[in-house]
Structure 1
């Protein structure tokens, strides 16, 4: 194989982004192999709930990915990662909710399945690279590989990719990172891909109806996390039917009468308590992170960074101090609302991802 022509495995989800990724790489003359992850048994959901599934990685999506691969005349494989997905993503999703945290399963799926297991399968096929349809960029600098935001700010997905290691970034490419969604759909139309107008999935793939409470109770049972709703002053205001039904910042659905609007400000799963308070009680100046990863080596001391505490959260100035045991302390210049244990906090220096971790 020539130095310019490479064997590239494309992670195909059946959507327009990964389909365009495969088509463009084939158009550029590379040897492209399509690969789709089978990660969850959607038939069990449909049987229990009498519904079809419209989330990513469903049977329909696998079918769409196969049809696109056929139209591009490239080899196509489906790899079964259901057991790995259950253990590494779903079990942690449930563990987090029942421990009072609000998880982000998409980060874990990328980390554990796509860029560990799927990358390993790509290497078994002697592929040079693994390509995905993420809107992000990987660039090589003198000190090593660096993850950067996608050029389209509305589609940038670098937040979900902060766990990428140097070894992984050396073998992964994001061809769509320099494009907008409009440009990608234009390519899909030009290439006559059958998914050119396919809608994007907005749901967690294993909760296709959006009812995560139903999912949690089917996985772990209900009734054993019921308890009190308590004001920050200590006054008991009512009862709840499971701490996992609540998340930090929640206002609706509390069913409480109070002189001012109340918000969930803390979840004490150990004591089965949901703590509520007025809006000023949401403001957090400092947080601690666990399982922190750095794009390059961990810095020797504190850094001035921009920090994003949710995918759709605006980055804000902060001081980040690395600690022992892969932890870090983040102090915001201005107190932030919505700091939620279980979510990821990611550090940026302009377009560059410096690192990130899980809010503890």
Structure 2
């Protein structure tokens, strides 16, 4: 009889499965590894190098997990991380988009390259410290919100394939952040990273625009600023310094504040409007990953168009296999091309894709 993982109850391939935990040095992955160890699972830890972490992190992690009797493997992921995440991030900005690199990192790196590496070590599954959960039924593997509304992270995993979700394990699925901290304190688990992980882990101590300039030296410079009527009202310092909905840095006095409405990359032109000009009733979503399958026809859903936003009610219509149209019940402010749009039916994730400009 195949062995069941007590932290995710469906059979793994091996009769004695090895679970690889991706560890960063933070409290979440530390507690995830400890919970798996407590459950009796055969656990190993993987720390992947991006080229943007502190030089001493790998050594400190090896020491920490050795004390827990968990072997640590260091996976050099720098080249694939640069090409799949950092280059994707900078290219999106140069297209006038606002990317979410974490969503791409999860599908291509953590549950892509790292999962392949884990399987080369003999692991049947990869665990992380994400706050979400999965279940399996005859239709496939489903992704659900985590138990902690304040830390819920299913949004970031909406691009995972069925195979990736089937091999994913989330030991923190029914825990809150406070419970994770309490577990760490109770068992004397001290993370080497005390700060919460940030949205863009590879940008540390500098502005996003400065990072992009370092990655792409021949970046377009200043250009015109136009209002919604096409009237020239100023000069911007570089389109890579702006995103839809941004107010800071426009520096064009008016009777009310201007916000970025669009980025015209072909003309190197920044389009701005007043706040009321930036509400849209509908958006198009491309490269949709359905979980587990594409819905038939239209359906009422809630949708999240950026991670730090509360879901809003909408009507979702699938177009073909990987495109969709979202009609908001109430027009939404600053729907930014390049951001991830994730669809929910209650706590279940139906899928997610990339917002495209109309």
TM-score grouping bracket, smaller chain normalisation: over 0.9
Give the Cα separation in 2 of the matches to 1:223 and 1:116: 31
Match of 1:141 among 137, 151, 159: 137
| 1:224 CA displacement | 2.0
3-state secondary structure, aligned to 1:319: strand
Deviations 1:212-249 (A, max 9, x none): 11111111125524211100011101111210100111
Counterpart in the other structure of 1:12: 23
Q: Structure 2 regions of 5+ residues with no counterpart?
A: 5-15
Give the Cα separation in 2 of the matches to 1:317 and 1:10: 35
Counterpart in the other structure of 1:22: 33
3-state secondary structure, aligned to 2:325: strand
Give the Cα separation in 2 of the matches to 1:333 and 1:200: 34
3-state secondary structure, aligned to 1:175: coil
Give the Cα separation in 2 of the matches to 1:222 and 1:241: 14
1:87–1:196 Cα change, 3 Å = closer
| 1:64 CA displacement | 3.7
| 1:62 CA displacement | 2.7
Counterpart in the other structure of 1:3: 3
Give the Cα separation in 2 of the matches to 1:325 and 1:151: 31
Q: Decide whether the 8 Å contact of 1:15 with 1:61 is kept in 2.
A: no
Q: After alignment, is 187-196 or 99-108 more displaced?
A: 187-196
Runs of 4+ in 1 over 6 A off after TM superposition: none
Counterpart in the other structure of 1:71: 67
1:171 paired with 2:143, answer no
1:202–1:13 Cα change, 3 Å = same
1:292 paired with 2:288, answer yes
Give the Cα separation in 2 of the matches to 1:276 and 1:217: 23
Deviations 1:106-155 (A, max 9, x none): 11111100111111111112212110000000112332211000110000
Counterpart in the other structure of 2:8: none
1:20–1:324 Cα change, 3 Å = same
Counterpart in the other structure of 2:297: 301
- Report how many residues are paired: 345
1:259 paired with 2:255, answer yes
3-state secondary structure, aligned to 2:253: coil
Match of 1:114 among 106, 110, 114: 110
Q: Decide whether the 8 Å contact of 2:19 with 2:43 is kept in 1.
A: yes
Q: Structure 1 regions of 5+ residues with no counterpart?
A: 43-56
Give the Cα separation in 2 of the matches to 1:290 and 1:68: 42
Higher helix share: 1
Q: After alignment, is 217-226 or 78-87 more displaced?
A: 217-226
Q: TM-score, normalised by structure 1?
A: 0.92
Q: Decide whether the 8 Å contact of 2:60 with 2:192 is kept in 1.
A: no
3-state secondary structure, aligned to 1:298: coil
1:87 paired with 2:98, answer no
Q: Decide whether the 8 Å contact of 1:19 with 1:68 is kept in 2.
A: no
Give the Cα separation in 1 of the matches to 2:56 and 2:151: 24
Counterpart in the other structure of 2:45: 34
Counterpart in the other structure of 1:131: 127
1:273–1:10 Cα change, 3 Å = same
CA RMSD after TM alignment:
1.7
Q: Decide whether the 8 Å contact of 2:243 with 2:336 is kept in 1.
A: yes
Deviations 1:169-206 (A, max 9, x none): 11111010110111111111122112188221325221
Q: TM-score, normalised by structure 2?
A: 0.92
1:192 paired with 2:188, answer yes
Give the Cα separation in 2 of the matches to 1:164 and 1:64: 30
Q: Decide whether the 8 Å contact of 1:185 with 1:197 is kept in 2.
A: no
